[in-house]
Amino acid sequence: MFSSWRKTTNLLNLQKQVKGIMNAISGHHFGTDGKTEKHTVCVEGNIGSGKTTLLEYFSTYPYTEVTKEPVEKWRNIKGMNALEYMYKDASRWGLTFQTYVQLTMLQIHTQPQVKRVKMMERSIYSAKYCFVENLYQSGKMPEIEYTVLTEWFDFLLKTQDIKVDLIVYLKTKPETDLRRIKERCRPEEKQIPLEYLETLHNLHEDWLIKKKFPLPAPVLVLNGEYEKEEMIKEYESYTPHILRGPA
């Protein structure tokens, strides 16, 4: 009888091990109710920090869905380029542009999630805590416009399901960002000065490192200074943590 019990126990342990291996291979992570847990990962960082490269790497995993910033929407609102308008005259177009950014990011946050891991380029949070804050602190957005956007943002957080499980922060030097921006040659970004990138860097640090603004999730900081080949090695080493979500 003892031998039979031991064989049954060994068989159950073997089944658990096999199930664990298969889950790791397929990317499934089951909760206590037996259902597959879904995670949302937001990739944050300065302009030119390498967010697109990271997302392209993780898009090759069969259980991840990747959503990049809706730049094409911003470039074409019934034929009008709101992104270009904002860069040319932030005082005039900052509110218009950030209102539309808030809308389009909300759409991405709330769209049905099909796969286990949803990875987003930036979020409604960085739009507010980094880019809206930059406009306001630089004097390009008057207080009344800032207050309207802030109240609208607070309302959305209270009434919408904007769940984030992990933030991956690609930390880079502004000088590195500027070099990469020049290399990729996006028309709207031609006039971006180093000072603008330095300000955005400080705001990302204020939010994600110094926690001056609320954090919706734990933050994983990656060194974004490496060139592409070395960055891919960095992604590989952190893949289990990024795709599993918080422990």
Residues marked as binding for ATP? Answer: 45-53, 180-184
Residue 101 backbone dihedrals phi, psi, to 5 degrees = -60, -45
**Number of helices and strands (H, E) in the chain?**
11, 5
CA distance 175 to 189: 15
Nearest of 144, 137, 145 to residue 202 by alpha carbon: 137
Residues of each annotated binding site: 45-53, 180-184
Q: Known catalytic residue: 145? A: no
Q: Do residues 222 and 171 make contact, with C-beta atoms less than 8 angstroms apart?
A: yes
* DSSP-based three-state secondary structure for 225: coil
CA distance 229 to 185: 21
CA distance 241 to 245: 6
Q: Which of 44, 69, 121, 133 is labelled catalytic? A: 121
Residues 6+ apart with CB under 8 A from 203: 129, 130, 133, 134
Q: What is the C-alpha R_g of the chain?
A: 21
What are the catalytic residues?
Answer: 121
